[in-house]
Structure 1
C-alpha cells in the first residue's frame, strides 16, 4: 500500500525543542519520517527545517493533519508549508533568443529528471516555437520591441501574469529571458521566479560578456542562479558554479563553456525548488541538498 507523502518546510525563531516538537507531532499523528534536515542560523537567530514523511494512519485525513499542524505552527511562530510530495509543481519557462537553458530543461523534463509539469513557454521572440511544439507545450509569443514604452511593457507583463494565473504556475524560470522585469512583476512573482546569468557581474555588463572576459584574460567563468527581485541580478542566490579557462581559449570556447555551466546551475536550482529544498533567509537562502 502506498501512503501519502509530504514535505514540511519551516522557519521560526530558534530555541530548544523544535526538532523534538515536530518529530513528536508526526509520531503522534501516525507519520513516519523518511528524511530530515535542519539548520540554525546564529546571525538571524532563525531555525530552518525540511522533513519528508509518510502519513501511515489512514484515519487521519489530509485536512486533519494540516489543521493540527497549523496549531503547532501558530504556537511556535513558524512560517511553515506542507507540500504533497507526489504533486508535480507547474513550471513556466521564459526565454528570448538564446536557447541552451530552455533546451536543457526540456530534455531533463522529458527524461524524468525534473519532477514538474510545463504547461507554458513564454518568449518575446519566435525562435523556439518549434522546439516547444516538439514537446507538446503551448508557446506564447509576447513581443516587446526594444525601447518599448512603459505602457507597452505593462500590457505585456499583464499578459505574462494572466498566463501564470490561468495555468496555476508554481515556478517561473527565466531561461535567458533578456528583458528586465518591472518591480510590480517581480513582487507578483516573489519567491517563485528563478533567473540565471553569468557570474561576471557586476563586471562585463551588456552584450557579449564572454568576449569582454576574453579581452581581460579571465581565468574563471561561472554562473549564478538566484531568485528574481526588483534589484537587478541581486536576488537571493540559490546556486553557483565555475570552470577554469586559460589564454589558449577563443571567445567562442569561453561562451560554450559558460553556457554549459549556466545549464547545470539552473537545473540544480530548479530541481531544489521543485523538491522544496530552498528556504529564504532574508537576502540569502538555506538549501537542504
Structure 2
C-alpha cells in the first residue's frame, strides 16, 4: 500500500522514513515490535484492572504501580501505532502539528515515568528507614499529590521544546530518518539556528535524567546505610527484596535512555539504524517487562493476579 500524495517538500507535512537502511526488513521488524507492544499493553492493563478491583491493594505502593502502568501504556502507545503503520502500510506522512504533538507526548510521558520512579524510590526509603511512620507519611492522597507535581513538572519542562521548534524554518527535504518525531531528529531538519533548541534539550536531559537518578541514588544510599545497621541477616534479605523490583525497573529505564541520549549527541560513528532501533526499544521494552517484574516480585500483587488467572 503506497502513501498517497507524498511530497517531501510539502510545507504542511513531514515524512517519517522508518528505520533507514532496513526498509526491506520493515515487515519482519514489525513482528517483534507488535508482539512487544501487545504484551506490554495487556500486562499493564491487567495490573490496573487487578489493583482497581482489589480493595486490599488500595495502598500507596500499588497506587504508584498504577501510575507506572499508565506511563508505560502512554510511552509505548505514543510511538507503536505510527511505527507499525509505517512498517505495514508505508503511511509515512505526518502533519507538522501532529509531529510536534507526538513529540510533546513522547517526551512528557517519559519525564513523568522518570518522576514516578523517583517517588517509588522515596516510597521504598520510607518503608525501610521509617516503617513505623510509613502510613502517616505516605497516604494515598499524598502519593496522588506527588504524582500531580511530577506531571506538572513534566509538562512545564517539555512544552517549550515543540514551541521553540514551531518558530524555526525547515528545509525543503522534510524526511525524518526515524519511526516517530524524536526531538533531536526533528531539530536536525531545520535550516535555522538551532542552538537554543539543542541547549534546552541538553538541559532537560541533565535535569530529567541526571537529577532524578541522583535522587534515586540518594534514597538507596540511605536505604543501604539503614540496612547495614540491622544485625539480622533475615531482615537484610527482606529489606533488599522489597527494593529488587524497583532497582530492575530503574536499570531498564535509565540505561538505554542515557545511552540513546549520548549516542544521539556524540555517537557520530554509530550507524543510523542502531540509533533508531535503540530509541524505539527503550520506549517499548520497559513497558513490557515492568508489569512482569512487579507481578513476580510483589507477593500481594502476584497472589491477586493468580486469583484472577484461575478464574479464566
Q: Normalising to structure 2: TM-score of the pair?
A: 0.24
Q: Normalising to structure 1: TM-score of the pair?
A: 0.25
Task: Give 1 or 2: higher helix fraction.
Answer: 2
Task: Give 1 or 2: higher strand fraction.
Answer: 1
